[in-house]
Amino acid sequence: VLLVMSVETSSSEVFEEFRANVRPGDRIRVTGKVQEPGVDAVACQFEVFCRDFAIEEKWETEKRGCFQDRTAALVSGPSMQEEMSVDQDAPLCKAWINTGQCLKGAACRYRHDTGGETIGKARAMWVAERRRQRLQTPSALGDHLPPSDKCSKRQRASIFCRWLIDTFGKEKMSRGVLDVAGGSGELSYEMVIMSRIRSTVVDPRPIKFNKWQHRFLENSIQQGQADISELLLPPTMYQDKSDLLEHLRGCRRREGCDCAQLFLKQEQRLFGESFLEDPECSKTFDESAVIVGLHPDEATDIIVNFSLAHRKPFAIIPCCVFSHQNPHRRLEDGRPVSSYEDYVSYLRQRAPGVRHAFLPFAGKNQVLYWMGDE
């Protein structure tokens, strides 16, 4: 049985972590939904819509040698497609051009040939064309910010936070923000630690700080630039600065640290109808002035639905479309929502007054927002 992780349906954060840490031969535990093979799939192939994963055992190359791919029989090259009528104008297969392999085998709808070029040169040409298309896409969507003026994706939480304050006002934001599908808490870190804005992360995954965030907190507390009585969530036993610094340093050196829970409030659950059934969560929702989502994936529609139903302002930066999971979506002209451009149009048509803007960072950077009943 061949399991294929679906990139489109994984959150961008989970996918980046998967790509950075998982290697051939690793044994992993996946949480998600399994879809049976379609009509054009290879026999015994199942697709996993991965929501989260954990590495159970790493493949030890030094002890066990190079991992031998058991799916080699399914790997297709140009010769395996000769018997099929593959459109020569079809795009190159992304998996094949990058790895020389394609798990869909001869059933793949994309080309597995280099047009007479070496695989290395064909790959370089493919990457250059993809880069050119990515640079053109923002302009087609109305984003006329020069690529040279855009910051890296690592700064998107900081940029989004500053935009939220400028747009909604710090006074309103300070009443409380609901950071839905906030992942590790990157956006809430910017609001709480950097801007002193009360924010609650709603996500079933535990929040955690990266090494840069740890170091910033340590330096700020060490140099007296941060008052721990203002930062720490009560109740806490770390009223002494030296004890807190020691705890932070220990967390930075080990996996699975829990110090993020000292500074950021989290409701470790999914956002939806059940969220409001909990009295404490309902209170947090009522007190929040704005609902936000930075690439909230499957929670995007839910944020818009709840915000409009409860007349709460929202600001979201959509990312993945999940068109196959949401066949009910329709544009005003009746067409199904099948692309990112369609999805943005669909969200904007949900209510009068939904505005949009482009933020200066790379990647999906279009923010849709509604100011509420002004």
Q: Are residues 127 and 180 in the same domain?
A: no
- For the chain, what is the mean pLDDT? 81
Residue-wise pLDDT tens digits, 40-76: 444 455 667 777 788 888 887 666 766 665 544 444 4
Q: What is the dihedral of CA 330, 336, 337, 342, to 10 degrees?
A: -90
pLDDT tens-place string over residues 72-95: 444 444 444 444 455 667 788 888
CA distance 95 to 79: 16
SS3 348: helix
Burial 290-326 (b: 16+ CB within 10 A, else e): bbbbbbbbbbbbbbbebbeeeebbbbbbbbbbbbeee
Residue, of 61 and 325, whose pLDDT is higher: 325
Q: Do 127 and 79 fall into the same domain? A: yes
Structure tokens that stand for 264 in this block: 């950021």
Structure-block tokens of residue 41: 């799939």
One domain for residues 130 and 156: no
| Contact by Cβ (8 Å): 182, 160 | no
Other C-beta atoms closer than 10 Å to the C-beta of 23 total 11
Write down the pLDDT at residue 262. Answer: 83
| H or E stretch covering 167 | helix 156-168
Q: Is the domain of 188 the same as that of 298?
A: yes
Domain with 319 in it:
144-207+265-374
Higher pLDDT, 118 or 181: 181
Do both 250 and 276 map to the same domain?
Answer: no
133-146 pLDDT per residue, tens:
666 666 556 777 87
Same domain membership, residue 253 and residue 187: no
Confidence of residue 334 (pLDDT cuts 50, 70, 90): very high
Domain boundary among 19, 36, 68: 68
Query: What pLDDT is recorded for position 39?
Result: 47
**Domain end among 263, 288, 304:** 263
In this structure, the answer to whether residues 51 and 93 fall within a common structural domain is no
How are the residues of the chain apportioned to helix, strand and coil, as percentages rounded to the nearest 5? Answer: 40, 15, 40
The rounded distance, in Å, linking the Cα atoms of 321 and 363 is 14
Shared-domain flag, residues 157 and 294: yes
pLDDT mean over 254-279? 85
Shared domain for 196 and 254, answered yes or no, is no
> Per-residue pLDDT tens for 3-26?
555 544 445 667 777 777 888 788
Number of domains into which the chain is organized: 4
Which of 67, 47, 51, 48 minimizes the C-alpha distance to 59? 67
252 plus 296 within the same structural domain? no
Residue of 115 and 322 predicted with greater confidence: 322
Q: Tens of pLDDT along 147-183?
A: 778 888 889 999 999 999 999 999 999 999 999 999 9
Q: Which residues of 76-111 are buried (b: 16+ CB within 10 A; e: fewer)?
A: beeebbeeeebeeeeebbebbbeeebbbbbbbbebb
Give the model confidence (pLDDT) of 290-315 as tens digits: 999 999 999 999 999 999 999 999 99
Contacting residues for 331 by C-beta, under 8 A, at least 6 apart: 337, 342, 345, 346, 349
Note if the pTM is more than 0.75: no
**Residues 93, 86: Cα–Cα separation, whole Å:** 11
CATH number of the domain to which 365 belongs: 3.40.50.150
Task: List Cα–Cα distances, 277 to 92, 158, 311, in angstroms.
Answer: 49, 32, 18
CA 25 to chain centre: 25
Burial class (CB in 10 A: 0-12, 13-18, 19+), 334: exposed
Whether residue 255 sits in one domain with residue 358: no
Nearest to 191 by CA among 248, 259, 265, 258: 265
- H or E element, residue 302: helix 300-309
- The whole-number pLDDT of residue 91 equals 80
Pair (278, 357) in one structural domain: yes
Beta bridge pairs of residue 49: 33
Last residue of a domain, one of 110, 141, 172: 141
